[in-house]
Amino acid sequence: MSNTINNDTLSNAPRHVAIIMDGNGRWAKERGKPRIDGHIQGASRISEIVKAASDCGVKYLTLYAFSSENWNRPQDEVSALMSLLKQALVSEKQNLIKNQIRFMTIGDISALPDDCKEGIEELKSQTKSFSNGNIILALNYGSRDELRRAVKNIAKDVAAGKLEPDSITWDTISDKLDTFGIPDPDLLIRTSGEMRLSNYLMIQAAYAELYFTKTYWPDFGREEFIKAVNEFKRRERRYGLTTDQLKK
């Protein structure tokens, strides 16, 4: 199957693609450059991938931009990442508005610098009514922290008499997750050759198709994205059923 967009690609595209954008630091190191150069090059890929996702018919694109564990990196790198985030919010604004794409975030953004939070809220407000697609940044996000916050809120409802423990269902939990209102990812891509979820959408990706590529994120462009989407179409998604059951 060629790495091109055709009618088959559009009709069978994953509704939601999530990406772990990995390999920026190694990309820079192999070129004798500072790690931040890898992050800068990686950030420049986002517009291309947003466009490729839209062209493929993907309605939700979630990017793992900054994990809750990334605070443990060297302070100068964290500061540089926050600066890149602020720049990206400005540089991508016109593209999102022009293409009527809604901007959202998951994760606890309360810990981000004030100027980043202000930029995030402004862009959310400016794009909230758009319906051509959705770009979601996972910022200060980790699945374990997300679940902790969800359980905490459910416990508060139980303590307040708003919820009976025996009435708790999966929907009760799902409604408290950061991804409330967002469909679970159909395809989860990780670049750079690593093969793990790294605390990313671990609950939501329960039935996602996983795609791992050795390509570093700064080199992951439109062709690589389409390749992943085409690979997704080859997969048989059974959700616990057998192939024969699906055929019926």
Residue range 28-50, pLDDT digits in tens: 999 999 999 999 999 999 999 99
> Which residues in the chain come in under a pLDDT of 70?
1-11
Residue among 175, 171, 154 at smallest CA distance from 163:
154
pTM, 2 dp: 0.93
Q: Where are the domains of the chain?
A: 7-142+184-234
pLDDT of residue 6: 58
Query: At 103, which amino acid appears?
Result: F
The answer to whether 22 is a known catalytic residue is yes
pLDDT of residue 80: 95
CA torsion angle for 104, 105, 106, 111 (degrees, to 10)?
Answer: -150
Residue among 3, 7, 12, 22 flagged as catalytic? 22
Residue 171, CA atoms < 13 Å, CB-side half-sphere: 2
> Selecting from 1.20.120.140, 3.40.1180.10, 3.30.465.10, 3.40.50.2000, what CATH number does the domain 7-142+184-234 have?
3.40.1180.10
Over the range 90-99, which residues count as b (16 or more CB within 10 Å of their CB) and which as e? Answer: eebbeebeee
Average pLDDT in the chain: 94
The answer to whether 230 is a known catalytic residue is no
Residue among 8, 37, 55, 70 flagged as catalytic? 70
pLDDT of residue 1: 46
